[in-house]
A and B are shown apart, each in its own frame.
Chain A
Amino acid sequence: MDILNALTAFANFILVPGLAYGSQLALGALGVTLVFGVLRFSNFAHGDTMAFGTAFVIMFTWWFQSMGISFGPLPTALLALPFGIAVTAAFVLGTDRVVYRFYRQQKAKPIILVIVSTGVMFVMNGLVRILIGTSERNFADGERMLLNPQDWKAWTGLAEPLAIKTTAVVSIVVAVLSVALLFWFLQKTRTGKSMRAYSDNEDLALLSGINPDKVVAVTWVLAAALATICGTLYGLDKSFRITVYFGLLMPIFAAAIVGGLGSPLGAIVGGFVIAFSELIITSAWKKIGSYLLPDSWLGDGLYQALSTDYKVAVSFAILIIVLLFKPTGIYGAK
């Protein structure tokens, strides 16, 4: 019974939140890794692209709510998602047209594009502040809990509650569907294959008659879609705030680099590695320990390696370790 209670506490504090957060990071890292693979630079504006997309999803959600449209037990934001993606994709394509294309034609070095993307980041950040403000926005509606802690206790008779938020499950399901769709696109369609070919060997892709402008445009649309989905899921699960989204850039880049920049599979693995590392290191293990160890062994401590305030340090540390010992990441080749 104690072991079951310990497992429940583990699921409640680490497994379920980790799967949800990992799904969100994986989607974010996929966007970063796609842009890196095809356009060959680290897009620092990705965090603010997420915020931009989410801001539009929130505004569409409010509009839908004001018209009385809802999605039953699911968040209305899911209905608003396609519209948010469309606006973000249009904006990102416009940015490519007026900013990135110029540097591509100059054959600018990747580091210059990184700095350019930092500029784009500030512009998008400012736009989002104007659009939706700097304060926290909650836009989750529908059924709050998929599994109520009281119900769990009643069903199982365990002392330890297990709560599963609807948004956590929505995160995981939407992420799985998005990833499946993305991999199907990359592996099976002609356009997807031409994207991989372009990412693999640009010169040979050009020799094969692949149109680089089309590949670049499709990549931006995919990156915008992934960023908007990632941002919306994160916002539903936690809340939306522009500064937080800016900060998400850190774990997302850590995830993409741990997995190996340019590798979609690596981005997913990296997302979960970062999410679970953060949770395992910043969680208080006392509760789980109290079911497994005699009371006298435990003492007063929380058994928390690092305060949650410092969770960014975890991604930072992992990032540095990976860059020192295996800079190409888990699945990276280049």
Chain B
Amino acid sequence: MAEPFLIGEAMTGGYGPVDILHSCTIAVEKGEIAVIVGPNGAGKSTAMKAVFGMLNLRQGAVRLGGEDITKLSPQARVRKGMGFVPQTSNIFTSMTVEENLEMGAFIRSDDTIAQTMEQVYDLFPILREKRHQPAGQLSGGQRQQVAVGRALMTQPRVLMLDEPTAGVSPIVMDELFDRIIEIARTGISILMVEQNARQALEIADKGYVLVQGSNRFTDTGKALLADPEVRKSFLGG
């Protein structure tokens, strides 16, 4: 089997001297959606941050398109084509929606930035309407759209989302998931951490159930949803 497009392989490490991840492996194929789920404190976000280079790995490697990027800083990974949407403080609240998107395209110097912005506006029409409003005045769901839009402006090959639906209503959550599927269809790989495990696994090509920083179950989203043990332990029956 060919290697996945992005893989964090056998990652071991943590923020300080104590390891949070124990030989944890996360991977995503081109144009697919991979979801990391698990109980609180399982190291879901930590696993994703490790893939993005926000903590030091003692063991393991991260490869993007076959290239070893383990030693690169998060900023350098952005330039390699990784987009990251943090869970909180993921927008510039005092700046307008349009300025947020412009800042997303800061590293680009080509002249197709306006075109990418149009694509983002097509994906999230409400942002076009509110383009001149400060992003901090928007609702929770709209803020998440700005955050995802900002990350898309770098034209990433992989989009990483840390709990994109935290604190938004179920209707907005479905809406966001639909948009995420649309993004994946354009060929961008999605790696996502989610609290709403059931809904997230429904749209996932690949699911990772983490417990205490290790892989517990890894399968397609459908298979995990069908697995009685996963259902009983992690999806509430």
Contacts and interface: CB of A to CB of B under 8 A. Distances in A.
Chain A CB within 10 A, most for which of B75, B90, B103, B104: B103
A333 B78 CA distance: 30
Contacts of A197: 92, 95, 99, 103
Interface residues of A, number: 16
Query: Interface SS of chain A: helix, strand, loop or mixed?
Result: helix
A207 B92 CA distance: 12
B89 interface: yes
B78 A204 contact: no
A210 B100 CA distance: 13
Given A207-B78, A208-B150, A209-B78, A193 B95 contact: yes
B89 to A, nearest CB: 6
A13 to B, nearest CB: 39
A209 B91 CA distance: 14
Contact of A210 (B86, B93, B99, B103): B103
Contacts of B78: 207-209
A207 B89 contact: no
Contact of A196 (B75, B89, B91, B94): B94
Tell which of A196, A197, A200, A207 has the most Cβ of chain B within 10 Å: A207
A190 B104 CA distance: 12
Residue among A201, A204, A206 with most chain B CB within 10 A: A204
Given A204-B86, A204-B90, A210 B95 contact: no
A201 B93 contact: yes
Nearest to B92: A200
B15 interface: no
Contacts of B94: 196, 200, 333
Interface string A277-290: 00000000000000
A204 B90 CA distance: 7
B150 A201 contact: no
Interface in A157-208: 190, 193-194, 196-197, 200-201, 203-208
Contacts of A210: 103, 106
Contacts of B106: 190, 194, 208-210
Contacts of A201: 89, 91-93
Contact of A193 (B91, B93, B103): B103
A204 B91 contact: yes
B126 to A, nearest CB: 21
A194 B103 CA distance: 7
Nearest to B74: A207
Interface string A89-119: 0000000000000000000000000000000
Interface residues on B, range: 20 to 34
A226 to B, nearest CB: 20
Contacts of B104: 208
B208 interface: no
Contact of A204 (B92, B102, B107): B92
B229 to A, nearest CB: 37
B103 A205 contact: yes
Interface in B68-118: 74-75, 78-79, 84, 86, 89-95, 99, 102-104, 106-107
Nearest to A193: B99
A203 B88 CA distance: 11
Given A193-B102, A208-B106, A210-B103, A203 B95 contact: no
Interface string B146-174: 00001000100000000000000000000
A88 B173 CA distance: 53
Contacts of A200: 92-95
Nearest to B90: A204
A193 B93 CA distance: 13
Contacts of A203: 86, 89
Interface centre among B75, B79, B154 (most CB of A within 10 A): B75
B146 to A, nearest CB: 11
A18 B89 CA distance: 41
Query: Which has the most chain B C-beta neighbours within 10 Å: A200, A205, A208, A210?
Result: A208
Contacts of A209: 75, 78-79, 106-107, 154
Contacts of A196: 92, 94-95, 99
Nearest to A187: B99
A190 B102 CA distance: 9
A207 B99 contact: no
A207 B95 CA distance: 16
B56 to A, nearest CB: 17
10 contacts: A193-B95, A193-B99, A194-B106, A196-B99, A197-B95, A197-B99, A203-B89, A205-B92, A209-B75, A209-B106
Q: Which 9 A-B pairs have the closest CB atoms?
A: A209-B107, A200-B92, A197-B103, A208-B106, A200-B94, A208-B103, A209-B106, A197-B92, A201-B92
